[in-house]
Amino acid sequence: MMTKKRSILILGILFVGTIFLLLFLLDTVSKNDARVSFPKWKTLFFSSQKSSLEEKGRVRRVVDGDTIEMENGEKVRYIGINTPESVDPRSAIECFGKEASAYNKNLVEGKELRLVKDVSDRDTYGRLLRFVYLADGTFVNELLVREGYAFVSSYQPDISKQDTFHQAEATAKNEKRGLWNETTCNGKK
């Protein structure tokens, strides 16, 4: 009789352990692959875990229209957009590049920002890839496109905001803002 109770206890412990191991593995997969999501059980079993998708920091300097350097030394490349080049030593300064860089500088330099990860953490140059928000909630990536300082430039897998960016670009084109104006670049680099 004692052997049967002990067997049931061991099987129960193994079953519960297996369930928690599966939940842990699924949680790990869902963090590494945005297509996998288990929000109901995740909040039940892992609610004490801090999300690594969001962080805050202060801007030390603006590198150009779509890249900044934080006080901690990390360089951040804005996801989903591309501004005309203004500092790349391999290419000439592109039309509206200096204006885009100056606008970005005025917008974010020295300010506290909220940085939000999409899927990828870094680009091939080691820069953090992030959606960037001002303290008041202004979505910097989208604003640069809407005001005509940036083009939409979405790459898989970081495309969660691409519809927002395309709408902002359509607005900039229709209103001939910034680089879409015929007196500046007329939409060309």
In angstroms, the CA 176 to CA 99 distance is 15
Radius of gyration of the chain (CA): 23
Long-range contacts of 33-36 (CB under 8 A, 24+ apart): 34/118, 34/119, 34/157, 34/160
- Asked if 127 is an active-site residue, the reply is yes
Residue 122 bears catalytic tag: no
Catalytic position from the list 94, 99, 127, 147: 127
Which member of 85, 94, 142, 169 is catalytic? 85
Torsion sign (Cα): 186, 103, 105, 143: negative
Distance CA 151, CA 153 (A): 6
Catalytic, out of 77, 94, 142, 146? 77
Active site residue 58: no
Residues annotated as part of the active site: 77, 85, 127
